[in-house]
Structure 1
């Protein structure tokens, strides 16, 4: 037999062996064979917000303090996350999906602690600058990048939300694939600690209204106006301070109306540091005569519905008439 025929036969045998391995579900010497559980978990659809936690961080017992009482099948879940061969006792578990859910909870709770450290925040900073988390849906935030957060540090209470550093509010993720991600896997501390450490990534604390051109009636464009940061330690990005004003036929809607601007005061941003000295610890103007000494002892207990014109009084009168009869 010629040498060329032997090479062809060996090539055919190798191709047949690779096809048999693929049919059996095994793929040798492929990129998927070296894929870890952590990398696989972070690459799933809807898990784009997660960063890969290093195995050294997970193997440190100090970082896992108190988690063994929160995660069922702790040992089996740890072995699955670290890609360790399971023991013989693991075969006694009736359903493997139970261990998978425990491994997901374990990784999520470890992820909550990991992103509070330097390595975790650096990994989340790369995602933040790349726009992986998306932008704020509020129009006047002008596409400010957001970061994931949770409303509770305990799993099973609420799903993940998005925090905007410009308007300081949280929003529901735009895609439904994130509705299955627990908000406790990111926690309530991460977004605020993140912008404390990376102040240059947050909008500037003060907002200076852009100047309009002479004879211009159109609203100013914040992107075209020059910007100088008054506080170099408080942020370097442009602060969007515009607030939406409800109007009916060009007239502003009263704040006491049911459709009035209830949340307007949350969107306001001071123009300079001197304006902060003109308000008290409650955020009220010091020289404003509307708030006198009577209101300083405590907050006004009246609800917003009390501003309705006599609707509550009519109900009380009708109840009193029924009692008299």
Structure 2
């Protein structure tokens, strides 16, 4: 599926796979159509629905692919705030897939992805340490262009209040 492919790309292992049922529920997508160009086409791409209009130019196809990535990221931001989303992220957290705090006094505390903004293209992803409560740049360069809005400002704090 497109979702599995997207999550398997280099630097996308911070993402969890959003369930199609969540994406298919219009309530969960409220307000996103005005934020993403070619919204309908991008949504169809994410859900592996063949486009009705096959006449997209090469340039339009490129824009639709970019829009699909942005749309998936914004859907992901909402999904990880749900019980199912948090459970998937908890599994990644337990496996220390987001890395450990570099501070010696934190004794290798696992970190979580977050952002200083919920708006796309404002800030890149940061890693939050629950021990020292500080934010860090991901050490690997493959994450340094990942939009922080795809994890949002709420997730890390909500996660630690639930778990």
* TM-score category (smaller protein): over 0.9
Larger Rg: 1
Map 1:69-148 → 2, pairs under 5 A: 69-88=34-53, 90-95=54-59, 96-148=61-113
**Shift in Å at residue 94 of structure 1?**
4.2
Q: 2:147 aligns with which of 182, 207, 214?
A: 182
- What root-mean-square deviation, in Å, do the aligned CA atoms of Structure 1 and Structure 2 show? 0.8
CA offsets 1:240-272 (integer angstroms, 9 cap, x no match): xxxxxxxxxxxxxxxxxxxxxxxxxxxxxxxxx
Q: Runs (4+) of structure 1 moved beyond 3 Å?
A: none
Q: C-alpha displacement at 1:137, in angstroms? A: 0.8
Match of 1:67 in 2: 32
Correspondence 1:1-325 to 2 at 5 A = 36-88=1-53, 90-95=54-59, 96-198=61-163
Query: Structure 1: 5+ residue runs without aligned partners?
Result: 1-35, 199-325
3-state secondary structure, aligned to 2:113 = strand
Report the TM-score, using the length of structure 1 for normalisation: 0.49
Per-residue deviation, 1:139: 1.3
Instruction: Report how many aligned residue pairs link the two structures.
Output: 162
TM-score, with normalisation over the residues of structure 2?
Answer: 0.97
